[in-house]
Amino acid sequence: MSSTPDNTLLRSRELWAQAFPEDQPEFLDLYFSRCYTPERNLTLTDDDSDEIVAAGQILPFAFNFGGRRLSAGYVSGLAVAPESRGKGLGSRWMAEAHRRMHAEGQVLSLLIPGSDELRNWYTRPACGAYDTVSHRFTIPLLEEGEPPRAGMPDITEEHELSDELWRFYNTFGGRHPYEVRHDRNSLEVGVRSALIDGAQLFVARRRRKIVGFCLAMAEPYPAGFEAPEGESCTRIRFMLTTDPHIVFYFARRLTDLHGRKVFMTGGCPVRGFDGSVPYAMARVINVPAFLDHVLTVLPGLQMEFGVEGDEHIPANNGYYRLFGGRWQRIETRPSSIVTAGELAARFLGSQATQMPLLLDE
């Protein structure tokens, strides 16, 4: 097959379908028309046949870190041809991806592994030395009791990201100090992907103005909660409101509509939440740029540490001192040594990092 842009797209889609057979054709149509671009795609070819044997995408995102935005790359859809697995192509692809991110000025790399096996794979130095930087926590919503005094909003089901809904998100969303910030395209893709999966989009209004929206769908009961025999629950995948009372009304509406228990899932720190599950992973791509950003957020931070074992970007390896609002390289090996992933986790792991609607469910 000749290596034309169209053939590269078709082969990348074919590899995705082989690696993730549970994904619906409608989702693949959405992803490869709205997320995929030749510039974001990265492929590896067979040395003998020049056939593409591995492909994946690096999706650029703005990421709030301490309330200030830095550039991040999200690793999406890495797939290796079945007959070529076990030959180190995945780790080779990751190395190429990290070097590309570094060249493009991205400071942080993010990903969400699909299994515990993959989570362990990504921690390997040859695969990028990622570390888990966030957990997710699922809680039941209390739909019983007295309604808030603010009064019942108008709640309607909608089927697309309207201009009005985008303006609401663009004004109030992505404001958490540690959160992925969507542009309109990525938010629309996230919403449409959830709808393809069977989710429903509900929008709450007061005096004709949006005060919140959520995406919810039927799922099995989460681990740790006893499910009545044969019953599923409703889980809210994403919610954004400007009024905390809206949570009550969404839960009540969903309960009235489906007669199921309602749960909501969100990001939480890596430690301290019993029953939380590991979620996103990260690694620093450019240590000097990362430290510059950290010191804009925490100018009084004082610490010494070393970065070792970065096989993909060796320039990151070295010993660092932060003092007086600046950082410098030092010669003496400190007692604290981290990988590029552990450096990201040192700052993100204690935060309720939010990474919603990233096509991982």
Query: Are 46 and 107 within one domain?
Result: yes
Confidence of residue 100 (pLDDT cuts 50, 70, 90): very high
Does position 150 have pLDDT exceeding 70, yes or no?
A: no
Is residue 273 one of the residues assigned to a domain? no
204: left (phi over 0), alpha (psi -120 to 50) or beta: beta
H-helix segments, the chain? 5-19, 25-34, 89-103, 116-122, 163-172, 184-196, 245-258, 287-297, 340-348
Domain count, the chain: 3
316 shares a domain with 250: no
- Is 281 contained in some domain? no
Q: Hey, what are 18's tokens?
A: 């082989």
Please give the pLDDT value at position 352.
93
Residue 352 included in any domain: no
Of 107, 134, 161, the one marking the end of a domain is 134
**Is the pLDDT reported for residue 122 higher than 90?**
yes
- The answer to whether residues 151 and 87 belong to one domain is no
Last residue within a domain, chosen from 268, 297, 312: 268
In a domain, 278, yes or no: no
What local confidence, expressed as pLDDT, does residue 4 receive? Answer: 80
Whether 54 and 129 share a structural domain: yes
By the 10 Å C-beta count (0-12 exposed, 13-18 middle, 19+ buried), 80 is classed as: buried
DSSP output for 55-121: EEEEEEEEEEETTEEEEEEEEEEEEE-GGGTTSSHHHHHHHHHHHHHHHTT--EEEE--SSHHHHHH
The mean pLDDT of 305-334, rounded to a whole number, is 98
Assess whether 117 and 150 both reside in one domain.
no
What pLDDT, on a 0 to 100 scale, did the predictor assign at position 145? 63
Q: Residue 277 is which amino acid?
A: V
Helices (H) and strands (E) in the chain, counts: 9, 18
Segment 80-101 mean pLDDT: 97
Residue 40 shares a structural domain with residue 91: yes
> Residue 274 has what pLDDT?
87
| Element (DSSP H or E) covering residue 214 | strand 209-219
For residue 65, give both structure tokens.
């870190």
Of residues 274 and 205, which shows the higher confidence score? 205
Strand partners, 60: 73
Determine the longest span between alpha carbons in the chain, in angstroms: 71
pLDDT at 59 over 60: yes
Same domain, 297 and 223: no
- CB distance 156 to 203 below 8 Å: yes
User: How remote is the C-alpha of 117 from its chain's centroid?
Assistant: 18
Residue 188 sits at φ, ψ, to 5 deg, of -65, -40
pLDDT per position as a tens digit, 151-191? 789 999 999 999 999 999 999 999 999 999 999 999 999 99
Helices 5-19 and 25-34 pack at an angle, to 10 degrees, of: 140
Same domain, 32 and 84: yes
C-alpha span between 119 and 108 (Å, rounded): 17
357 within domain boundaries: no
* CA 176 and chain centroid, separation: 14
127 and 198 in a common domain: no
Instruction: Write phi, then psi, for 101 (nearest 5 degrees).
Output: -55, -45
In a domain, 110, yes or no: yes
In a domain, 349, yes or no: no
The residue assigned the tokens 């309720």 is 352
The verdict on pTM exceeding 0.85 is: yes
pLDDT band at 143 (very low <50, low <70, confident <90, very high): low
What rounded mean pLDDT belongs to the chain? Answer: 94
| Confidence category of residue 147, pLDDT binned at 50, 70, 90 | low
* Whether the predicted pLDDT of 253 surpasses 80: yes
The answer to whether residue 320 scores a pLDDT higher than 70 is: yes
Task: Answer for the pair 165, 314: CB distance below 8 angstroms, yes or no.
Answer: no
Domain termination site, one of 68, 101, 134: 134
CATH code of 38's domain: 3.40.630.30
Please state which of the ranges 38-42, 209-213, 244-248 shows the lowest mean pLDDT: 244-248
Judgement on whether residues 153 and 214 belong to the same structural domain of the protein:
yes
CB atoms within 10 A of CB 138: 21
Query: Are 70 and 10 found together in one domain?
Result: yes
Which of 354, 313, 317, 340 has the alpha carbon at shortest distance from 100? 313
Beta strands across the sheet bearing 209-219:
154-158, 200-206, 209-219, 233-241, 262-268, 135-140, 277-278
pLDDT value at residue 1: 44
Mean pLDDT, range 105-133, rounded to an integer: 97
Residue 343 lies in a domain: no
What residue numbers bound the domain in which 114 lies? 5-134
Do 189 and 291 fall within a single domain? no
Residue 144 has what pLDDT?
63
pLDDT tens-digit series, residues 4-56:
888 999 999 999 999 999 999 999 999 999 999 999 999 999 988 889 999 99
Residue whose token pair is 């069977």: 198
